[in-house]
Chains A and B, each alone.
Chain A
């Protein structure tokens, strides 16, 4: 076994300019010629770590050694010079250019007027293709190629630049199962050629199938390093999710009422016109919190958008209080009793250049109490309503005339929660309601959701934070690739099961 270390990253710390600590002293080593799995949940720091390795992001503290030599990578160019290439989750191809032109782009050499040496490039690319079996039609515009083939073009692109270490960020995220198999064959061929590969994923099955060794990250720290031979889905799930016992006693729902939200065989497409919610059915009753866990990108966002009137329903139906909602717009839904704390509070929940008072009536601006019958806004009433909101929910702002932009992230979120939870509602859809909040604010929002449940509202909670979902929910579903891979009471699952399901392995 060749055990020469080709990459060593020592005590890497990364603090983003906004103060977010992404990596808290990570040691990461890759051996020459191996396929190394980098496993972790969203926000664990996988992508940040690899962006640092490829030169895309500067590190805050720590050291990187390539083949034993300390290096300082200030750009992806320098990363490539050191032999490191990265294929991002979202490709960087020029759509109308052919694969060959894309591969050649940036490697023209010579002066601005020297003729393009495309034919030489074609030869070099051709021999690369032969060596590793990366079949790509070189003369078709990449925009008309399937995603899997575009990805191969990306891989060719970095091979063409003589990368020895290939980093693939969630390479299977947008691939069909067949394409995944093909990708794995290519990766094995590349390994045979002596290339080193870092494979970033949150999918347990894949990491077990393709890698030689695995490093697990959680919350910016390494929680496990092991050869794949010694890994089991259980072990990895615990490393990825943590063993922490759910804190605090959970006041479970007392009396369940009528179903408020009924979702039946729902199919929803994403922006690329690909079905991303694939036949989901569930009910949320009044007086219960229904939690949906799962790694992001498995269809949760689109599910929420369909329920809240922001995305068209492809198949199936959604009923709120018995009424079918496929043709309703958000205002009609609010009037039917929906409150929606959106996933992206800054982009969707607030208009940042509106002041606090204006934001406090977004969606309520047509209510007769604010705009009467003719639509003339009564600012006095709006102001007193806004003052009521910020006092009751503890939103810290210099004044209600301050633009939402100037509030801190936590207070922006409080403002959205304040507005939505103050609506007269029977169904609350809360998407990642505590993301990015400090401990106190998190606790506050969670208490509110429990309070809402206890007064008989139905709460649909979507969160990538497993602790939050298990703590608050009366029932839990785990979403994986557009379907519920598991559904039941929190007591029926332990963390290991949940971790397995989030990674796509059905626990029995």
Chain B
């Protein structure tokens, strides 16, 4: 069964590349710590202990991972369709605002959560629509339009969070959503809610759409070769808009997960702290996850782990959180250099050959 081994090796390559990039990141991070006089072994031990060992640690990691999976998918779908959609940030904001709006609106308990989720996803998609339409009708590059809309969102959200939606009793956040709209908490005392399931289910659905439906086939075809796609009767316009919409759904859901899936406040902070940078970090998640929705799950958990564990690293190994940030950067760089693994492999083979 050569086709089986073929598909196996096809799947293995991106995984080894991801792992390899993480390895380089950790290695260079260790060098950094040595230079500043920290013990890297100790630090990493604390990092991984704090991230993955123990119920609460794991729960915190997963709760961080919840939005990252989704924003990673936003960027990944764009890439699969040949787009550089960095509008995830703004779409997250819109999803979060929509979640506050729907979650504070009294609805029957049985449907409140579902309605809030759908409303948030639609809000995210609505914010992805203008760049999509501008792209296919006027050829406006999505980087320009999404960056501008991201800023529009920042100020719109600040205004809404500090103005119309502010909590009259506690001005540092918006009104908390009603309990009927909240994702159930999975481990009491932790921040982990059932939003993680929504996130994973969404990733699986996107995987199925991309690799098991005609629509996904078209999106991927357009992303790889728009001319051949057109020759094959595929409308690049339609696929572009679809990819934007799917990405918008994901980002909207990510925003919602930070409100209706985020104890203890169940609200947006006035500083927007709990929704800021999720969209941008999603780009890194997508890169490490090799633009694959299932890869995004793994990469998001790793990222969540880094955030959770960095607290332990700081507390017990006394390594400043900046080193962890540097680690993120180095890992992303290592992933972003295409074919780095191939280059190193060749070099290694050559060396061994001699």
With A362-B221, A366-B214, A371-B214 already in contact, the answer to whether A348 and B6 are too (CB < 8 A) is no
Whether A354 touches B212, Cβ cut-off 8 Å, given contacts A310-B231, A329-B233, A329-B235, is no
- List residues of B (292-321) whose CB comes within 8 Å of A's CBs: none
Out of B2, B213, B221, B233, name the residue touching A354 (CB < 8 Å).
B221
B247 CB → nearest A CB, Å: 20
Contact B3–A352 (Cβ < 8 Å): no
Residues of B within 8 A of A329 (CB): 233, 235
- Given contacts A376-B213, A398-B6, whether A330 and B225 have CB atoms under 8 Å apart is no
Report whether B230 and A351 are in contact in the complex, using a CB–CB cutoff of 8 Å: no
Q: Is B217 an interface residue (CB 8 A)?
A: yes
Which one, B212, B213, B228, contacts A351 given CB within 8 A? Answer: B228
Contact size range, A: 35 or more
Binary per-residue interface labels of chain A (226-248) against chain B in the complex, 1 for a CB within 8 Å, 0 otherwise: 00000000000000000000000
| Contact segment of A66-74, A184-192, A252-260, A399-407 | A399-407
Residues of B within 8 A of A349 (CB): 228, 231
Instruction: Give chain B residues whose Cβ lies under 8 Å from the Cβ of A348.
Output: 227-228, 231
Q: Which residue of A lies closest to B1 (CB)?
A: A399
Q: Is B6 a contact partner of A401 (Cβ separation < 8 A)?
A: yes
Distance in angstroms from A63 CB to nearest chain B CB is 36
Q: Which of A340, A358, A399 contacts B231 (CB 8 A)?
A: A340
Contact at A399–B233, with CB atoms within 8 Å? no
Q: Are A342 and B217 in contact (CB under 8 A)?
A: no
Q: Is B10 an interface position by the 8 A CB rule?
A: yes
Residues of chain A within 8 A (CB-CB) of B217 are 358, 361, 365, 377
Contact A365–B218 (Cβ < 8 Å): yes
Within B206-263, the residues touching A (CB, 8 Å) are 212-215, 217-218, 220-221, 224-225, 227-235
Measured between alpha carbons, how far is A228 from B218 in the docked complex, in Å? 56
Residues from chain A with a CB closer than 8 A to the CB of B235 are 329
Interface of A is mostly: loop
In contact, B232 and A363 (Cβ under 8 angstroms): yes
Q: Which of A339-365 contact B (CB under 8 A)?
A: 340, 342, 347-354, 358, 361-363, 365
Number of cross-chain contacts by CB at 8 Å: 80
| A375: Cβ under 8 A from any B Cβ | yes
* A199 interface hit (Cβ, 8 Å): no
The answer on a CB contact under 8 Å between B228 and A330 is no
Tell me whether B227 and A402 are in contact (CB under 8 A): no
Contact (Cβ within 8 A) A342 B3: no
B7 within 8 A of A: yes
Indicate whether A351 sits within 8 Å of B225 (C-beta atoms), given known contacts A365-B232, A398-B6, A401-B7.
yes
Which chain B positions have C-beta within 8 A of A353?
224-225
Chain B residues within 8 Å of A340, by CB? 231
Query: B6 to A350, Cβ gap below 8 A?
Result: no
- CB <8 Å contact, B213 and A377: yes
Q: Which chain A residue has the least Cβ–Cβ distance from B221?
A: A351
Are the CB atoms of B6 and A402 closer together than 8 Å?
A: yes
CB–CB A347/B225 < 8 A? yes
Give residues of chain A (399-421) contacting chain B, Cβ–Cβ below 8 Å: 399-402
Binary B-proximity of A358-388 (CB < 8 A = 1, otherwise 0): 1001110110001100011101000100000
B contact residues around A480 at 8 Å (CB): none
> Looking across the interface, which residue of chain B has its beta carbon closest to that of A333?
B233
Tell me how far the C-beta of A427 lies from the nearest C-beta in chain B, rounded to whole angstroms: 16
Is the Cβ of A377 less than 8 Å from the Cβ of B214? yes
Q: Which residue of B lies closest to A402 (CB)?
A: B6
Whether B233 lies near A363 (C-beta < 8 A) is yes
Complex contacts, A365 vs chain B, CB 8 Å: 214, 217-218, 232
Report how far A354 CA is from B80 CA in the complex, Å: 12
Question: Looking at the complex, which one of A354, A366, A370 makes contact with B224 (CB distance below 8 Å)?
Answer: A354
**CB neighbours of B3 from chain A (8 A):** 383, 399-401
Name the contact of B228 in the complex, choosing from A333, A350, A371 (C-beta under 8 A): A350
What's the Cα separation between A363 and B231 when bound, in Å?
A: 8
Rounded to whole angstroms, the CA-CA distance of A371 and B220 in the bound complex is 16
CB contacts (< 8 Å) of B225 on chain A: these are: 347, 350-353
B229 interface neighbour in A333, A351, A352, A379, Cβ under 8 Å:
A351
Residue ranges of B at the interface with A (Cβ–Cβ < 8 Å)? 2-3, 6-7, 10, 212-215, 217-218, 220-221, 224-225, 227-235
Q: Can you give 16 contacting A-B residue pairs, CB < 8 Å?
A: A331-B233, A332-B233, A333-B233, A347-B228, A348-B228, A352-B225, A354-B220, A354-B224, A362-B221, A363-B231, A366-B233, A377-B214, A377-B217, A383-B3, A401-B6, A401-B10
Known: A331-B233, A349-B231, A400-B3. 8 other contacts (CB 8 A): A310-B231, A331-B234, A334-B233, A362-B221, A362-B232, A363-B233, A376-B213, A376-B214
